[in-house]
């Protein structure tokens, strides 16, 4: 069976590399004929922090909000051994892992590292489809002549470069389609390299939960459970038309994915559909003025992210979560695409005013969707000369902040207002 040592990149058919003695050997009958990969950085935020502070290497580290309403963004693998996971309330994570070091996220640092990883991916193949800051699909079809290696060997070399040059680790899933590549990148974390070939796809998928199928969320999972369907293999007992009759167009995906059929291509032109920011309060908030005060810094954060990504939003999305965990979203289309915090705030404020009716909220968020290129942002308007002045002021503030830091200059509504504004 063909194999590859991920430590020294030597070819071997043994479970231990005869060249360097490493047991980090991946072996599979179809190893050198597969070309679709999913690469995911391991516990990304936590790994970056441990890279920069080696004293954290052997301690449980959690990245996320420190307040009583905070949420875990990432937990290192030591903390995960105690049951901590992403999106868990921080109070629960503290109970599970009382010795953990908790740090707030440093998104500027993580974005910079993410760009470094992306650059190495693009040196490997132009067919890179980012899914988030720390993960992407790669299609290495036809790269054998370029790198003088099979796709599997090239991926092993890429993961070694990321580890040696950037100082973080990644896990890789290799298959013949995106669905399976993404599934198997989670099989052997951290520093994993898992392979699923076409000949074993159905056997691999059949015992797995239906929630592993892309697009099966909590709502559909509940519907399937009521119908007695819990495992992917159960879809093999149905005709495609039967599943479509039950579950609409999603039925076709259930039928095909259960058989390992996924014709989606790796699309390097795929882009984020929205850019957003949100915050969970330490206590529920009813007061409209306090909600408006919380809205403004989020607008500034989204504006900064839009400018960094060179994108502009044509639609504003307000998100609120009630004390009872019900989520409300409200949209407002803009006359022109924007990158400006002031425009975001002015569009979101009336949406928030309608919802701030005495309801207690635990979370507020703001987003920009229907993204376009940043060159189309905030065009000059002869009927609104103040719009150009607004843009000039905000860009001048950005220049000051880039030089002296985020807190160097603020608008009046950005100042805290005592206890109620904190």
CATH code of the domain covering residue 332: 3.30.1490.100
**What confidence tier does 420 reach under pLDDT thresholds 50, 70, 90?**
very low
Q: Is 116 helix (H, G, I), strand (E, B) or coil?
A: helix
Among the ranges given (67-76, 80-89, 207-216, 232-241), the one the predictor scored with the smallest mean pLDDT? 67-76
Q: Angle between the 288-309 and 385-404 helix axes, to the nearest 10 degrees?
A: 80
Residue 338 corresponds to which tokens in the numbers above? 């924007």
Closest CA to 322 of 363, 287, 351, 289: 363
Domain that holds residue 156: 1-200
Q: Are residues 4 and 123 in the same domain?
A: yes
Q: Are 391 and 244 in the same domain?
A: no
On whether residue 214 sits in a domain, the answer given is: yes
pLDDT at 383: 45
Length of the chain as a residue count:
422
280-291 average pLDDT score: 92
Residues 6+ apart with CB under 8 A from 293: 413, 416, 417, 421
The pLDDT of 196-216, averaged and rounded, is: 95
Q: Tell me, yes or no, whether 228 lies in a domain.
A: yes
Neighbours of 336 (CB within 10 A): 16
pLDDT exceeds 80 at position 78: yes
Within a domain: residue 266? no
The tally of domains found in the chain comes to 3
pLDDT in tens, 14-24: 999 999 999 99
- Please confirm, yes or no, whether 394 is among the known catalytic residues: no
382 has pLDDT over 70: no
Give the mean pLDDT of 250-259: 95
Same domain, 210 and 291: no
Q: For position 368, what pLDDT does the model report?
A: 94
What integer is the mean pLDDT of 84-113?
Answer: 93
Same domain assignment for residues 310 and 242: no
CA gap 322, 337 in Å, rounded? 29
Residue 265 lies in a domain: no
Q: What is the mean pLDDT of the chain?
A: 89
- Residue 175 falls within a domain, yes or no? yes
Name the percent of the chain lying above pLDDT 90.
73
The reply to whether 155 falls in a domain is: yes
Residue 251 sits in the same domain as residue 322: no
Q: Are 222 and 292 contained in the same domain?
A: no
Residue from 105, 33, 31 nearest 62 by CA: 105
Same domain as 235, residue 285: no
CA 288 to CA 265: how far, in whole Å?
A: 47
Considering only CA atoms, which of 206, 259, 248 is closest in space to residue 223?
248
The conformation of residue 97, written as its DSSP 8-state character, comes to: -
Q: Could you tell me if 379 and 309 lie in one domain?
A: yes
Query: Given 129, 135, 290, 394, which residue is catalytic?
Result: 135
In a shared domain, residues 282 and 392: yes
The mean pLDDT value for 352-358 works out to: 94
Domain with 138 in it: what CATH number? 3.30.70.270
Q: What pLDDT score was predicted for residue 407?
A: 57
Q: Is the pLDDT of residue 415 over 80?
A: no
């Amino acid at each position: 069976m063909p194999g590859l040592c991920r430590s020294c990149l030597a070819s071997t058919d043994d479970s231990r590399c005869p060249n360097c003695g490493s047991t980090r050997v991946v072996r599979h009958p179809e190893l050198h004929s597969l070309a679709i990969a999913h690469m995911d950085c391991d516990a990304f935020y936590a790994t970056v922090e441990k890279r920069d502070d080696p004293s954290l290497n052997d301690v449980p580290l959690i990245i996320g909000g420190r307040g009583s309403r905070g949420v875990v963004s990432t937990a290192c693998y030591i903390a995960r051994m105690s049951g901590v996971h992403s999106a868990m309330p921080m109070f629960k994570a503290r109970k599970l892992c009382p010795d953990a070091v908790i740090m707030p996220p440093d998104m500027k640092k993580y974005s910079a590292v993410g760009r470094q990883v992306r650059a190495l991916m693009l040196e490997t193949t132009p067919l890179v489809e980012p899914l988030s800051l720390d993960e992407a699909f790669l299609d290495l079809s036809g790269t054998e002549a370029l790198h003088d290696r099979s796709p599997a060997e090239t991926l092993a070399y890429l993961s070694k470069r990321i580890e040696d040059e950037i100082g973080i680790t990644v896990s890789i899933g290799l298959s013949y389609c995106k669905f399976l590549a993404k599934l198997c990148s989670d099989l052997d974390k951290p520093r994993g390299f898992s392979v699923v070939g076409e000949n074993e796809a159905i056997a691999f998928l059949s015992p797995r939960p239906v929630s592993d199928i892309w697009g099966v969320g909590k709502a559909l999972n509940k519907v399937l459970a009521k119908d007695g369907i819990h495992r992917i293999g159960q879809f093999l007992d149905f005709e495609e038309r039967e599943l479509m009759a039950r579950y609409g167009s999603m039925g076709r995906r259930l039928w095909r994915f259960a058989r390992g059929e996924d014709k989606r291509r790796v699309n390097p032109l795929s882009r984020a559909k929205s850019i957003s920011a949100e915050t969970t309060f330490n206590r529920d908030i009813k007061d409209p003025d306090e909600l408006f005060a919380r809205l403004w810094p989020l607008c500034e954060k989204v504006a900064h992210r839009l400018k960094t990504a060179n994108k502009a939003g044509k639609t504003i999305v307000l998100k609120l979560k009630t004390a009872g965990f019900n989520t409300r979203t409200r949209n407002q289309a803009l006359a022109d695409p924007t990158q400006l915090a002031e425009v975001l705030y002015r569009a979101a404020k009336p949406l928030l005013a309608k919802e701030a009716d005495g309801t207690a909220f635990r979370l507020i968020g703001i987003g920009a969707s229907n993204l376009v290129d940043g060159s189309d942002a905030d065009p000059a308007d002869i009927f609104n000369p103040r719009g150009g002045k607004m843009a000039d002021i905000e860009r001048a503030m950005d220049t000051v902040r880039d030089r002296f830091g985020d807190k160097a200059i603020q608008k009046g509504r950005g100042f805290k207002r005592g206890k109620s504004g904190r």
